[in-house]
Amino acid sequence: MNAFSSVQIGRRSTVEAPRPAPMHIVLFGAGHVGHALVELLGSLPCVVQWVDERDELFPDETPANVQVEATDTPDAIVDTAPPGAYFLVMTHNHALDFSLAARIMRRRDFTYFGMIGSKTKRVKFERRLIDRGVDLDRLVEMTCPIGVAGIVDKAPAAIAVAVCAELLQIRSRQAAAQATMQKLCASV
């Protein structure tokens, strides 16, 4: 099968545009929000590496597209993630969140980096990241707080919905940009 698929509608067939590749999501944190998020991500076009130091927090069963990674060295997972990964940081520990943020910001090839937290947490982390050598202009690549704007409910399920919506928006924008680039290249 090629990049375009044919769909029969009555007697006519139409050609669907190619679908973007699945997102590779690296989710740090197996708390309440992490659990709610994994439930939703289980039905979306993605592969999820679900990372936490606390093995006992992972459920016995997860969706087929979710890989549990209980590890004492979650920072090392950042380095092994593929280019274009979507990073979500929502651990139980601000020090670990910062360590992960600093490591993620050293990479220049991720699609998305979001961290759960308040605007105050973001400001504190920005100062510390700058002190650690992260360029000021790169801080726009860190999304904190996460989730689509306008959802203020703090329930884990509501946060999960807002985050999934944000990831899907980014994926759609990226696919549209790639399609535009392909059209430009084809017309040259």
The larger pLDDT score, comparing residue 8 to residue 64, is at: 64
Q: What's the pLDDT band for 183 if we cut at 50, 70, 90? A: confident
- The yes-or-no verdict on residue 13 having pLDDT over 80 is no
> Residue 118 and residue 89: Cα distance in Å, rounded?
13
Establish if 168 belongs to a structural domain: yes
Is residue 186 in some structural domain? Answer: no
In a domain, 6, yes or no: no
- Containing domain of residue 147, as a range? 19-180
Please tell me the distance from the alpha carbon of residue 79 to that of residue 75, in angstroms, as a whole number: 8
CA distance 96 to 158: 24
Nearest to 28 by CA among 110, 91, 84: 91
> Which pLDDT tens digit goes with each residue over 137-156?
999 999 999 999 998 899 99
pLDDT of residue 11: 61
Task: Evaluate if residue 14 carries a pLDDT over 90.
Answer: no
Cβ atoms 49, 26 nearer than 8 A: yes
Angle between helices 32-41 and 156-187 (to 10 degrees): 50
The sign of the torsion formed by the CA atoms of 56, 60, 65, 67 equals: positive
Position 8 pLDDT exceeds 60: no
Domain membership flag for residue 124: yes
Q: Is 188 a domain residue?
A: no
- pLDDT digit string, tens, across residues 119-133: 999 999 999 999 999
5, part of any domain: no
| Strand stretches in 29-125, DSSP E | 46-52, 66-70, 86-89, 112-115
Residues 41-85 have pLDDT tens digits of: 999 999 999 999 999 999 999 999 999 999 999 999 999 999 999
Look over the chain and give the mean of its residue pLDDT values, rounded to a whole number. 89
Residues of the chain with pLDDT > 90, as a percent, come to: 77
Could you tell me the CATH number of the domain that includes residue 159? 3.40.50.720
Q: Would residue 130 count as lying in a domain?
A: yes
Q: What is the DSSP letter of 124?
A: H
Question: How many domains does the chain fold into?
Answer: 1
35 within a domain of the structure (yes/no)? yes
